[in-house]
Amino acid sequence: AQRVTQPEKLLSVFKGAPVELKCNYSYSGSPELFWYVQYSRQRLQLLLRHISRESIKGFTADLNKGETSFHLKKPFAQEEDSAMYYCALRHGGGFKTIFGAGTRLFVKA
């Protein structure tokens, strides 16, 4: 069965520190992986996806098929990064997206 695991419910770091939000998945085929973010009082929105290999707001995520991971990283956290982050998986070429439990990132001044 497809599953997305985010082991940390809460991650607290100081401003300027590196941050890594962990995501592991289980899927037998070729998944599409995404990170979604929800800032306070805003709706859920796409942050980045593995296919594009882009950096958004300083965040990057690399798909590691050997470790079935898609960790989200940023070298220097900012206070405005405080939000809820969800890792998500969609079957390659499919239409259903499943979400991990989410990690709340809190960046302290």
Partner 1 sequence: SAVISQKPSRDICQRGTSLTIQCQVDSQVTMMFWYRQQPGQSLTLIATANQGSEATYESGFVIDKFPISRPNLTFSTLTVSNMSPEDSSIYLCSARGADNSYEQYFGPGTRLTVT
- Residues in contact with partner 1 by CB under 8 A are 32, 34, 43-46, 49, 51, 86, 90, 95-102
Nearer to partner 1, 71 or 102 (CB): 102
Nearer to partner 1, 10 or 109 (CB): 10
Closest contact distance (angstroms) between CB of 96 and partner 1 is 6
Here the tokens at position 20 are 């890594």
Residues 6 or more apart whose CB falls under 8 angstroms from that of 101 comprise: 5, 6, 9
Closest contact distance (angstroms) between CB of 24 and partner 1 is 14
Nearer to partner 1, 28 or 42 (CB): 42
Q: Where are the alpha helices (DSSP H) in the chain?
A: none
Closest contact distance (angstroms) between CB of 76 and partner 1 is 27
Q: 96-99: long-range contacts (C-beta < 8 A, 24 or more apart)? A: 97/34, 98/2, 98/3, 98/4, 99/4, 99/36
